[in-house]
Amino acid sequence: MEQFDLLIIGGGPGGYSTGIAAAKAGLKVALFEKEHLGGTCLNVGCVPTKYLVDKAVTMEKVRSLVQKEIFRDAGFFSFKKIMKGKQEVVDKLVGGVKMLLKSAGATVINGEAVLEKDRTVRCGETQYQGKNVIIATGSEPVIIPIPGHELCIDSTAVLNLERLPESMVVMGGGVIGLELACAFAAYGTEVTIVEMLPELMGREQKEAVRFWQNQVKKLGISIKTGAKMLRVEADGVYRKAVYEYKGQEETVRCEQVLMAVGRKPRFDGINAEALGLGLNGRFLAVDEHQRTNLDGVYAIGDVAGGAQLAHAAYAEGEAALADILGKPYTRAKYTPACTYTLPCFASVGLNTETAKAAGYEPVMGSFNYAANGMGLAEGENGCVYVICDKKTTKTLGVTIVGANASELIAFAALAVEKELTLEDWEGQIVAHPSLAEMVREAALDAFKKAVHKG
């Protein structure tokens, strides 16, 4: 039985990044992946979805310039070429991950790994012994067994469509459903979102959600919140999505029904009960170092609960590796979250409701893209919201709706993590012209000190 310092089950973002870092730190590492390196994120999640969204954003930008008669026409696009380009990007990134693991000295083993007692992993007929094991098996789409669910496609299948559907019903108004709904609507698909909860993005800053939803509706998306999908029926090559909305049964005839109601932890090769692995609801239970209740066994990423985000898995892997190496590691208190819709929605830290619940007296400042030089030059529409504590003036949270929100949130996340005060913001110098200026202006506006806002 070959001995390793670290065995990693799963080659998604958390697994492969930890494997590279561990090998670079001098550990003998083996990483098991039964499908494709990069996991859901690189292959059928974050990256391919963002490729589709990016092209949709570009088309919306061109259309706005056509309306202003700056461009003569919006031109034509090839959905097949978009899908081909998406796959080329995926292949390049997956190949890059493979190269990084190899150059770091990690051993990659293709096949399904089964975790056994005493940190032993079996893959096929071979067993491997590890001083430490990291479980990073990720998650998979949830399928709701409504009548006709077999007629639906999931988030993996929708990213492999060969033809643009003329109409689509999206079952689920979470991150995955919203991102795909916006992208396909921009391409010209008639989209209806059916969400069971009474509102979209219910945990986010209310003002930001209202602004965002008004922009999303301009894409022509029909949004049905508080609606329950009852069944899906075949209608020739079409589908009939039947749902209950405001006490009435409604039907939408469409070409595709996308089921995007969330994801659940994947336990392939992990028999938690037989191994005695502790659970926290549906997920593996871990402490702040990502340790499970079994000695030397860690869990990171979607299988361990928490934020189902690739960058959260990166951080969890770093925490686990630091513990294995006996090194200190301080993880950020807040994890930024981005929904890559049209427009993009990004947030970090607290909103007014959660700030009140935490005992603060929140004050909110805001700044609109329309009052920003770069925002005007780029023809963008959006808004920045900053929450501060009235007494201490510390920055508690930031929400950004608009172009490049996913980039601006990194600057905002640091401000929240370091609890920048009004005095800090006043002394901060931000490049001009830039969209980043709006974050500072919104923070100053919380105390009525924004210069460029009346």
Average pLDDT of the residues in 310-327: 98
pLDDT of residue 74 exceeding 80, the answer is no
Nearest residue to 349 via CA among 295, 389, 290, 302: 389
Q: Are strands 362-368 and 383-389 parallel, antiparallel or unpaired?
A: antiparallel
Q: pLDDT band at 75, cuts 50/70/90?
A: confident
Eight-state DSSP code of residue 371: G
pLDDT score at 46 = 92
Q: What are the structure tokens assigned to 159, written together? A: 């990213």
Q: Give the C-alpha separation, 349 to 206, whole Å.
A: 14
Q: Mean per-residue pLDDT for 115-129?
A: 97
List Cα–Cα distances, 167 to 38, 224, 437, in angstroms: 31, 16, 40
Looking at 149, 311, 432, 452, which residue is catalytic? Answer: 432
Decide if 432 is catalytic: yes
Retrieve residue 228's tokens.
């329950």
Q: How many CB atoms lie within 10 A of CB 454?
A: 4
196: DSSP letter: S
Q: Is the pLDDT assigned to residue 306 strictly greater than 90?
A: no
Burial, 7: exposed, middle or buried (Cβ in 10 Å; 0-12, 13-18, 19+)?
Answer: buried
Reported as a single tens digit per residue, the pLDDT across 362-375 is: 999 999 999 999 99
| Full DSSP string of 197-234 | SSSTTTTS-HHHHHHHHHHHGGGT-EEEESEEEEEEEE
pLDDT of residue 222: 96
- The mean predicted confidence, pLDDT, of the chain is 96
Amino acid at site 79: F
Would you give the DSSP letter of residue 137? Answer: -
Q: Which of 174, 141, 173 is nearest to 155 (CA)?
A: 141
For helices 405-417 and 437-445, the axis angle rounded to 10 degrees is: 50
pLDDT digits (tens, 9 = 90+) for 125-178: 999 999 999 999 999 999 999 999 999 999 999 999 999 999 999 999 999 999
Give the pTM: 0.95
Please tell me whether the peptide bond between 13 and the residue prior to it is cis, using omega within 30 degrees of 0.
no
Give the pLDDT band of residue 76 (cuts 50, 70, 90). confident
pLDDT at residue 72, rounded to an integer = 85
Strand, helix or coil for residue 167: strand
> Rounded to whole angstroms, how far apart are CA atoms 395 and 422?
8
Residue-level pLDDT at 434: 98
CA distances from 324 to 27, 289, 292, 306 (A): 10, 9, 13, 21
Q: Give yes or no for residue 327 having a pLDDT over 90.
A: yes
d(CA 39, CA 364): 39
Closest among 215, 208, 213, 218 to 195, alpha carbons compared: 213
